[in-house]
Every structure is written in C-alpha cells, then in structure tokens.
C-alpha cells in the first residue's frame, strides 16, 4: 500500500482510533509513534539488476499494556504525520511500512496490506512481515512475497518483471542472465 493510499483511509475516518495488527500479533494500546522515516533504497539484486524505490516507515513503540491504555486517535496520528511532513519530504507513492517489536522482541518493518473499519470506531491496519526471496528469480519491485500468503503481493497483482532461472544465483550457479552476453555472469 502506498503512503497516499494509507493516508486516504485515515482521512476518511479522522474520528476513529487506530489499531495495528500482524495476524494474531497486535500492537498494544498505549503505543507511541516514535519515528517516521522517509527512505530511498538503491539496490542491486543477485541477478545484477539495479533498482530503487521509496518507503515511508512509521515506527511504533509500546511500553506494554497497562490498565487504561487506549488506542491512538486517527486525528492525533495525522497531526504527528503532518508535523513530520513539514520537516521531511515524504513521497506519497512510497510503500508504507510499520516498524514494531513488542517489548523485549526484535522489531520488524511490516508491510501495510489493508486498512479495515471495525465496529466501535476502530481502524484496523493489517500488517504482514516481509519474507526474503531471490529477487533475481522473483523479479518484483521493492519487496518480495510476504510471509502472510493471504496478503496481496506484487506477483499476484501482475507487477512481476522478467524472471531469471533460480539456479543463476545459487553458490555454484553458472547460468547467465538472458538479457546479457554469456561473459557477464548473472551471479556476480
């Protein structure tokens, strides 16, 4: 989901509260927005193809659950985001991520896959953990398939680019990328 799509969902429900969930793992009420990052990734995959894309990462911190903790209001979240946007240029077309780790757990930069209105005035932000895959083989822009198989991926939406043989990037691979002369080994 792009930053603009994410914000459009929130703008339509400014009076709601905001919940973040990655499957059965939810960010505890009382969370704080600790950072908003606008990043550009420049990468070369193991097939020798360079690419770049932008991401907006919203980092959440939770001190743990405490009696009386409440979910952040959408209006407050948008106020924080607007303040950041006046200080940092954020690309509306950038993929949006939410970085979170429960207290004592490692943080994961989840991909936002959906925003759903729930009863009781709550917007549920659905998150999926990214998976590692051979980008030369899967040839998707930015992220590769998500761990949550039900979540929409670039591959299922038709945005997959050309594919090279999976053996190309294996440690003993000697195959060549079809778009380059044989002298240029795609495995580096």
Burial of residue 103, with CB atoms counted within 10 A of its CB: 0-12 exposed, 13-18 middle, 19 or more buried: exposed
Tokens coding 175: 């195959």
**Cβ atoms within 10 A of the Cβ of 154, count?**
19
Tell me how far apart the alpha carbons of residues 150 and 129 are, in angstroms, rounded to a whole number.
12
What's residue 163's pLDDT? 45
What confidence tier does 104 reach under pLDDT thresholds 50, 70, 90? confident
Per the model's pLDDT, the better-predicted residue between 160 and 108 turns out to be 108
Between 75 and 182, the higher pLDDT residue: 75
Give the pTM. 0.76
- Distances from the Cα of 133 to the Cαs of 3, 53, 95, in angstroms? 24, 17, 18
- The DSSP call for residue 114 is E
The fraction of the chain above a pLDDT of 70, given in percent, is 71
Residue 153's pLDDT is 41
Helix (H) or strand (E) holding 8, with range, is helix 3-11
pLDDT of residue 120: 93
Q: What is the DSSP string of 24-47?
A: TEEPPTT-EEEEEEEEEEEEE-TT
Contact yes or no for 160/166 (Cβ under 8 A):
no
* pLDDT at residue 62, rounded to an integer: 87
Residue 85 tokens read as: 């946007």
- For residue 167, pLDDT over 60 is answered with no
């Amino acid at each position: 989901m792009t930053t603009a799509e994410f914000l459009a969902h929130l703008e339509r429900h400014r009076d709601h509260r905001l919940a973040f969930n990655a499957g059965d793992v939810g960010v505890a009420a009382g969370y704080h927005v600790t950072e908003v990052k606008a990043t550009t990734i420049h990468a070369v995959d193991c097939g020798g193809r360079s690419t770049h894309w932008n991401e907006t990462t919203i980092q959440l911190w939770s001190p743990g659950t405490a009696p009386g903790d409440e979910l952040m209001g959408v209006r407050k979240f948008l106020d924080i985001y607007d303040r950041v946007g006046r200080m940092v240029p954020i690309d509306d077309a950038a993929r949006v991520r939410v970085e979170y780790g429960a207290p004592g757990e490692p943080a994961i930069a989840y991909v936002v896959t959906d925003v759903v209105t729930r009863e009781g005035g709550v917007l549920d932000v659905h998150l999926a953990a990214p998976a590692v895959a051979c980008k030369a083989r899967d040839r998707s822009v930015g992220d590769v398939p998500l761990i949550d198989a039900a979540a929409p991926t670039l591959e299922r939406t038709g945005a997959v680019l050309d594919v090279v043989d999976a053996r190309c990037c294996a440690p003993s691979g000697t195959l060549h990328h079809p778009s380059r002369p044989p002298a240029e080994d795609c495995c580096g």
